[in-house]
Amino acid sequence: MKKTSSLFLLFLAFFLPTLSAWAQVDLVVSVLDNAHKPVVGLPVHLDNAAIGYSAEHPTDAQGKARFQGLSTAGSYAVSTTVTEQYQAVREAGITLRANSSPSVTLVLPQVSTQALAGVVVRAPNNATTINTQNAEVASQLSARELREIPIEARDITRALYRLPNVTLATGFFSEAPNVSINGANGLYTNYLIDGLDNNENFLGGQRFAIPVGFAQNVSVLTNNFSTEFGNSANGIVNVTTKSGSNNLTAEAFYLTRPGPAIDGKTDFPQRDLSGNQVQNGFQRQQFGFGVGGALVKDKTFFYLNAEQTFDIKDNALTSPELGVAATVRGHNRFTYLSGKIDQHWSERFRSSLRANVGYVNIERQGGGLDGGVAFPSTGNQQDRNSVAIASQNVYVGRRITSETDLQYASFRWNYAAAFNPSSPDVTVLDPAGQAVAVLGNPGYLFDSHQKTWQAQQKFTLVSGRSTFKGALASSVPSTRCLAAATPTAATPCR
């Protein structure tokens, strides 16, 4: 069982020499001269035209300027202005991820010009975005990389195998989680959306599968991440979702896999998105859209995403004793709906509301890959339906940053919803006692209902060269399910 008991975690007022990972994103800008000594008292400007954000802070005695409680929407640019001693430096295209501690180091060239026949030559700018704040070992894929990398069915987890320390997991059942970190069992990978829980609580894995179109970036934490993450001795997969901006953006797509007409032959079994094997005639149709923009410029932003996948798969029904040789067609359906609203109430206070709804239906239509005696009357379907509604609120004071997060999530995993629930389970035998036909109810039941309430209150206090952090968090899951070898003998899951 995974994370099925209440969690109450309080860690309060402890000293950190550098900033550790946190859901509220604080960006630290270090400014150095050519000798790599801190530049003190220099104004550093941070702007994000996509959401109308602009702020300026001077560097402290360590040459650092700290910007607290930043939104993950859009991209930022950090810059300095020309002084009598230093040239101006600008670093643009900085995107943030939830639960991160980003840093930017600017090295300021000395003012140095030389007139050559009217041509002025200046030293080039120098800026780096290497993490200098903690020892966290993490890697990530940006929205652009997710768009450009070939990913089967836009399933974001299948892109993670390109990252260090991430491999394809092997499980003891078809639908087992497919991401293994540091070689550990895939059941113990922890999944987050915007820093909030996204775990199925019975056997592990994602509750809602974020599609590529709703991901701003996805990061994998493998070692040395902050204790705040908890819930796993393994790694963390954290997806930062997209937000709208002042610019209206939209995308639409249609993908098709026609099947035998263009499929190459292979001796290896193919699997669908649920992990179940399929024949060479497998077909897929997939389409969707995403749109984001501003309802009120610089104040209220939205982003909507919808993706739909239809799979067609064939099984062979073969019973020579009964003279039956037929093809039984089945379908899979994956529907993912997502929406997000960001509200900037003032320069110091902002909120976001996110909703994710997923409907997954996987059909078992009878027959078998290479032939089987299960007739269509034994058909059943697997339902994996999820809902997540989350609110995140950030207040940025002069020295204190506060974040309040609330999330409600539900997940229903009905593993074998029979097409003929009232029918008996019948096996037809030949004179030798061998099965020649299986009819009626599939003969087993597993139906799990999960609900989880999560609340977090966090704060960061900056005092001089010290940073104090504290949090109060609670997660209350409840699980109700029925399981049985035969539907008539259903008992509560334990």
Domain containing residue 101: CATH number: 2.60.40.10
Would you say residue 15 lies in a domain?
no
- Amino acid, res. 221: L
pTM: 0.84
Using pLDDT thresholds of 50, 70 and 90, give the confidence band for residue 117. low
Residue 485 has pLDDT above 80, yes or no: no
Structural domain includes residue 91? yes
Based on the fold, state whether residues 89 and 183 are members of the same structural domain: no
Do both 177 and 246 map to the same domain? yes
* Cα–Cα distance list, 224 to 21, 38, 159, 227, 373 (Å): 10, 27, 23, 9, 52
Residues 439 and 471 reside in one and the same domain = yes
Residue 418 lies in a domain: yes
Same domain? For 46 and 84 the reply is yes
Question: Does residue 5 lie within any of the structural domains?
Answer: no
Quick: pLDDT tens for 433-474. Answer: 999 999 988 877 888 899 999 999 988 888 877 778 888 888
12 located within any domain: no
Write out pLDDT tens, residues 327-366. Answer: 999 999 999 999 999 999 998 999 999 999 999 999 999 9
Task: Let me know if residue 239 belongs to a domain.
Answer: yes
The last residue of a domain, from among 61, 96, 128: 128
Tell whether 296 and 190 lie within a shared domain: yes
* Displacement of CA 216 from its chain's centroid (Å): 9
Confirm whether 6 is domain-assigned. Answer: no
Residue 175 has pLDDT above 70, yes or no: yes
81 and 174 housed in the same domain: no
Instruction: Name the band, by pLDDT with cuts 50, 70 and 90, for residue 390.
Output: very high
Give the Cα separation of 119 and 179 in Å (integer): 56
Torsion sign (Cα): 224, 230, 232, 237: negative
First to last CA, the chain: 9
**Residues 160 and 250 occupy one common structural domain:** yes
Please count the structural domains in the chain: 2
Residues 64 and 200 in one domain: no
Residue 351 inside a domain? The answer is yes
Integer Cα distance of 130 and 170 in angstroms: 34
| 393: helix, strand or coil | strand
Distance CA 223, CA 139 (A): 11
Beta-carbon contacts of 369 under 8 Å, excluding residues fewer than 6 positions away, are 269, 277, 278, 279, 315, 316
Q: Which of 66, 95, 128 is the last residue of a domain?
A: 128
Q: 27 with 143, same domain?
A: no
Q: Are residues 448 and 407 in the same domain?
A: yes
Q: Are residues 161 and 50 both part of a single domain?
A: no
Range of the domain at 45: 22-113+122-128
Looking at the structure, tell me whether residues 395 and 476 fall in a common domain. Answer: yes
Domain end residue (candidates: 72, 98, 128): 128
Query: What mean pLDDT is predicted for residues 103-119?
Result: 75
